[in-house]
């Protein structure tokens, strides 16, 4: 039985614990650690890691867009979240020139920790994406989206909203999620259909 069949069958308490653990790990692996690494890379003047982390932050912005979509109650947030799980590891391993430059650097604490984080966030997204795949039907049915096992994924974003945007309505914040998604998809389309054909897997022109 695959993850699509198993995920919705989890006990409500176990599912809630899984969702909250996932969000806590997301804060650690997708926000705090890469932020520290980016600052460290700038201090060390490590341009290859700087460049790769800059690309990472652009791609990972889809996670924040997903949060705002969930605050707005948009079911497409489940598709956006799954896309982020796929695109983040791709963005970290896709670039031939940056990978080669980082591989050829002499050993250092920055290189070691960056490499460990890159493998850790890749594994985290593979596992998280496999779990979230079981909830993709939440995006394509109003009745399914309203079910308790789908709605539990919205709880952490709504708590985030209470902490940081208490004075704004869910719909207002959801609008920014939709706007962000439109701009993100336009940027992704430009990369796939224009830039990729010109530069291939070379990050530096």
Q: What is the pLDDT of residues 152-184, one digit of tens each?
A: 999 999 999 999 999 999 999 999 999 999 999
Other CB atoms within 10 Å distance of the CB of residue 153: 21
17-33 per-residue burial string, b: 16 or more CB within 10 A, e: under 16: eebeebbeebeebbeeb
Q: What is the pLDDT of residues 103-134, one digit of tens each?
A: 999 989 999 999 999 999 999 999 999 999 99
Q: What is the pLDDT of residues 44-85, one digit of tens each?
A: 999 999 999 999 999 999 999 999 999 999 999 999 999 999
Tell me: pLDDT of 5 over 50: no
Position 97 confidence tier, pLDDT thresholds 50, 70, 90: very high
Token couple for 28: 């650690």
Q: Read off the pTM.
A: 0.91
The CA angle 39-40-41, to the nearest 5 degrees, is 90
Q: What is the pLDDT of residues 16-29, one digit of tens each?
A: 999 999 999 999 99
Token couple for 156: 């952490």
Tell me: pLDDT of 6 over 80: no
Identify the residue whose tokens are 């890379």: 41
Answer whether 17's CB lies under 8 Å from 9's CB: no
Answer whether 180's CB lies under 8 Å from 186's CB: no
Tell me: pLDDT of 4 over 90: no
Token couple for 27: 């804060």
Token couple for 153: 């994924």
């Amino acid at each position: 039985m695959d993850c699509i069949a198993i995920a919705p069958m989890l006990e409500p308490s176990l599912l809630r614990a899984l969702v909250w653990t996932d969000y806590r790990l997301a804060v650690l692996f997708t926000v705090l650690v890469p932020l520290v690494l980016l600052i460290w890379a700038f201090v060390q003047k490590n341009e290859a890691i700087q460049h790769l982390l800059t690309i990472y932050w652009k791609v990972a912005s889809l996670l924040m867009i997903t949060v705002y979509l969930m605050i707005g109650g948009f079911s497409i947030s489940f598709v956006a979240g799954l896309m982020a799980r796929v695109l983040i590891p791709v963005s970290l391993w896709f670039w031939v020139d940056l990978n080669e430059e980082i591989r050829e650097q002499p050993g250092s604490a920055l290189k070691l920790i960056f490499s460990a984080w890159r493998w850790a966030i890749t594994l985290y997204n593979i596992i998280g994406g496999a779990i979230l795949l079981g909830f993709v039907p939440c995006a394509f049915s109003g009745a399914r989206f309203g079910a308790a096992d789908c709605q539990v994924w919205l709880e952490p974003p709504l708590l985030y909203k209470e902490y940081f945007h208490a004075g704004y309505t869910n719909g207002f914040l959801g609008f920014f999620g939709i706007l962000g998604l439109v701009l993100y998809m336009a940027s992704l389309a430009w990369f796939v259909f224009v830039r990729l054909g010109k530069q291939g897997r070379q990050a530096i022109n």
